[in-house]
Structure 1
Amino acid sequence: MMELDPTDKPRWEAGPLDDQPEEWQPTLFNDRMNKLKDKVAAFICEREVREVAFNVFAQFRTLGWEAALNFYDKDNKNLFMNEIPEWMATLTCTKYERLSQMKLTGTVNGIEVEMLFDTLRKLAKYDCLHARDYTIPSLDDLLIKPESHPRWNDILIALFLSGTFSGTLYRRNLKIEAKLLLTICILNVKPRRGDKQEVRYPEIPVLYSLLHGSPRFPIQYLIMNHVWICRNKVGRSIIPYFRIITGLLKQFKAITSEDRGAPKRNKPFDIRRMGVGWTYDESERYHKLKLEGQRWRALKVDARELLLGEEDEPESEDEPPEWG
């Protein structure tokens, strides 16, 4: 490695990291991470969502995203605080014309580690059906091409309470099903910290697709694009997909069984403990959630079949049809 003169170090105050001199990019990335008061909190570890407890898998299966809920590295108690930032700091992104051609490459312990569609498929069954043919709708697609994608306004109507989606899109105004899915999305699909009061634009088509099963686009691209943005944008001081990146580094033997990381707790997602404002209840057949006057219920995965002539339990008047 070439020796760098500290007096030549550029300032990274705006613009993408890959606009900075290549030899300084790892240093600038590490400088940003080292400024954090709680560096461990910057590592966002995906949460396991157990199907036996909560049937959200059907929506993810439709899109080919099921692995986002159940992929985990067996060694999920170790946080590799040196190897993972080293990979993020040294990342490069190849130019690509199709989503399936995107590739991120970083170096750990002298080993080149690639993240691309095929290496992610070796970790888990991401988007196994025709992923290369999917496209992610742009804002122009959603606004002016309703023949190929739903219109932006129709998407907002599907996700938000009536009259609440002009101007800033607030999380509190989502319909309860979309709020529940957003909770999982910001843990596993597009992990983030920061202000969670607003719904960000890139999350909108993701939520709509999960509710309706289309438009279909590859989660591999969502993962790689989000990793690249978190590495490359000056204000994104997080390292997402801790479990995925750990599995990738082990796939390339950049981390071996002899390496030990710092301990990190990782509790599975629990619908019974959704946080402030959520109320959970259950009956013999259903999970039930309530939040800010909205009600939702889902049939339990292991619910017994109704007997011949037996009526299902009635829904309350303000309870929407069951989901799942």
Structure 2
Amino acid sequence: MCRNMGRKVKEIAGSSSKQAETQPKKWRYLGRDDDSDEVEEIELDPTDKSVWEAGPLDDKAAAFICEREVREVEFGPFNVFARLCALGWEAALSCYDKDNKNLFKDEIQEWMATLKCNEYSKPSQMKLTGTVNGIDVGMSFDTLRKLEKYDSLPARDYTIPSLDDLLLKPEANPRWNDMLEALFLPGTFHGTLYRRNLKIEVKLLLMICIYNVIPRRGDNQEVRFPEVPILYPLLHGSPRFPFRYLVMNNVWICWNKVGRNIIPYFRIITGLLKLFKAITSEDKGAAKRHKPFDIRRMGVGWTYDESERYHKLKSEGQRWHALKVDARALLPGEEDEPESKAETRVGMKTTPMNRMVAT
């Protein structure tokens, strides 16, 4: 159950440069200070711009997490699309909006600064509402579905299990140690969960998750506990749960986070603002091109190569060969690409479509 408990929203002094010809009706906001249990009623004028409590984030580019397009021609051979489709989450791989050059940071900050959450008894009833340019913009199961066909497969309507649920109710959920064993290299998941010890296919899924599925900022060394029950179904195709609830829950967690230093799902929120016509003709946004994932530039610890027949990924001692979609058939008696005798197979069974080896 989510309580409508928020921090006090600040008001910017003076009138906005976008005063409407007719003064909109003021609305009330219930909130409380962090150090007080007393609920306070505050009257806000929607033409006054509320700001994200930690202050505007314009000079903190890292605080905005912008989803990236994942191109099937590059990542399809590595089963990325197949794994998200198995959960009905394939819409998380798209860009949500054809406008790939403008970033509406001020409007998104205003939406986050005025955010409220309703009380709900099941995930499908959750709704987050913020106000931009005097227009209430709601994020819900229904409005998210109008952006993309999220949750294309039936999903049980339940809350994502917490760590306590996983440890105390193993009969209802995959066991914690079984999930760790599925995600990490043998003998590497005791104590601190380091990202370098993830199996290479899981490490690739995590890279996409921290932008498009469960966006976060932090160090690049460890796997967070909440990421484990997300990565496990991505790897196995079950259990299924609603992607839309995952989005709303993550936004609300960021809203309540001490310091308020991150705004996730930049492109989803932009799509919502446009859906509600809360972005006006005067809102030009900041000119910046959205970058898709590039398999050739995935960052430190990753290298990509290709041969005539295979795409080849390497990451910290692990190698993954994926057969190209248009790879020619082998000639009679022709051997496939040779492998070193020192290589041993880990993680996945070898198939014509997928080969992963560790060096």
Q: What's the counterpart of residue 102 of structure 1?
A: 126
Q: What's the counterpart of residue 277 of structure 1?
A: 301
Partner Cα separation in structure 2 for residue 19 and residue 186 of structure 1? 36
| AA matched with 1:42 | A
Q: What's the counterpart of residue 63 of structure 2?
A: 42
Report if the CA contact (8 A) 2:52-2:112 is conserved. no
- The structural deviation recorded for 1:32 is 0.2
Partner Cα separation in structure 1 for residue 192 and residue 153 of structure 2? 36
Partner Cα separation in structure 2 for residue 14 and residue 219 of structure 1? 33
The answer to which structure has the higher helix fraction is 1
Partner Cα separation in structure 2 for residue 99 and residue 305 of structure 1? 48
Cα distance 1:238–1:4, how it changes in 2: closer, same or farther (>3 A)?
A: closer
Report if the CA contact (8 A) 1:297-1:319 is conserved. no
Q: RMSD between aligned alpha carbons?
A: 3.2
| AA matched with 1:174 | L
The within-5 A match list for 1:59-74 is: 59-74=83-98
- The structural deviation recorded for 1:288 is 1.2
Larger RCO, structures 1/2 (Cα 8 Å, 6+ apart): 1
The within-5 A match list for 1:12-23 is: 21=40, 23=42
Residue 344 (structure 2) aligned to one of 300, 318, 321? 318
Q: TM-score, normalised by structure 1?
A: 0.86
Cα distance 1:208–1:308, how it changes in 2: closer, same or farther (>3 A)?
A: farther
Instruction: Classify the secondary structure of the residue corresponding to 2:171.
Output: coil
Q: What's the counterpart of residue 211 of structure 1?
A: 235
- The structural deviation recorded for 1:13 is 6.2
| AA matched with 2:213 | V
Partner Cα separation in structure 2 for residue 251 and residue 126 of structure 1? 16
Residue 223 (structure 1) aligned to one of 247, 262, 283? 247
- The structural deviation recorded for 1:29 is 5.8
Do residues 93 (structure 1) and 120 (structure 2) align?
A: no
- Stretches of structure 2 that go unaligned for 5 or more consecutive residues are 1-8, 14-30
Q: What's the counterpart of residue 53 of structure 1?
A: 74
Provide Cα deviations, 1:197-219, integer angstroms capped at 9, x if missing partner: 21111111111111111111111
Report if the CA contact (8 A) 1:295-1:318 is conserved. no
Do residues 260 (structure 1) and 284 (structure 2) align?
A: yes
Cα distance 1:279–1:4, how it changes in 2: closer, same or farther (>3 A)?
A: closer
Residue 30 (structure 1) aligned to one of 52, 60, 68? 52
Instruction: Classify the secondary structure of the residue corresponding to 2:105.
Output: coil
Query: Greater shift after overlay, 158-167 or 106-115?
Result: 158-167
Higher radius of gyration, 1 or 2: 2
Partner Cα separation in structure 2 for residue 209 and residue 246 of structure 1? 28
- The structural deviation recorded for 1:279 is 1.8
Partner Cα separation in structure 2 for residue 319 and residue 300 of structure 1? 20
Do residues 300 (structure 1) and 321 (structure 2) align?
A: no
- The structural deviation recorded for 1:144 is 3.6
Q: What's the counterpart of residue 243 of structure 1?
A: 267
Provide Cα deviations, 1:29-70, integer angstroms capped at 9, x if missing partner: 624033x58333321110100001111100000011111111
How many pairs does the alignment contain? 317
Partner Cα separation in structure 2 for residue 271 and residue 168 of structure 1? 28
- Stretches of structure 1 that go unaligned for 5 or more consecutive residues are none
Do residues 151 (structure 1) and 175 (structure 2) align?
A: yes
Q: What's the counterpart of residue 190 of structure 1?
A: 214
- The structural deviation recorded for 1:315 is 4.9
Report if the CA contact (8 A) 2:70-2:292 is conserved. yes
Q: TM-score, normalised by structure 2?
A: 0.78
Instruction: Classify the secondary structure of the residue corresponding to 1:82.
Output: helix
Partner Cα separation in structure 1 for residue 103 and residue 248 of structure 2? 20
- The structural deviation recorded for 1:164 is 2.1
Report if the CA contact (8 A) 1:99-1:132 is conserved. no
Cα distance 1:236–1:169, how it changes in 2: closer, same or farther (>3 A)?
A: farther
Cα distance 1:259–1:158, how it changes in 2: closer, same or farther (>3 A)?
A: same
Report if the CA contact (8 A) 1:229-1:236 is conserved. no
Partner Cα separation in structure 1 for residue 219 and residue 166 of structure 2? 25
Q: What's the counterpart of residue 192 of structure 2?
A: 168
Identical aligned residues as a percent: 73
Residue 79 (structure 1) aligned to one of 69, 92, 103? 103
Partner Cα separation in structure 2 for residue 308 and residue 62 of structure 1? 36
Instruction: Classify the secondary structure of the residue corresponding to 1:48.
Output: coil
- The structural deviation recorded for 1:273 is 1.1
Partner Cα separation in structure 2 for residue 48 and residue 237 of structure 1? 24
Report if the CA contact (8 A) 1:29-1:231 is conserved. no
Query: Greater shift after overlay, 115-124 or 281-290?
Result: 281-290
Report if the CA contact (8 A) 1:294-1:319 is conserved. no
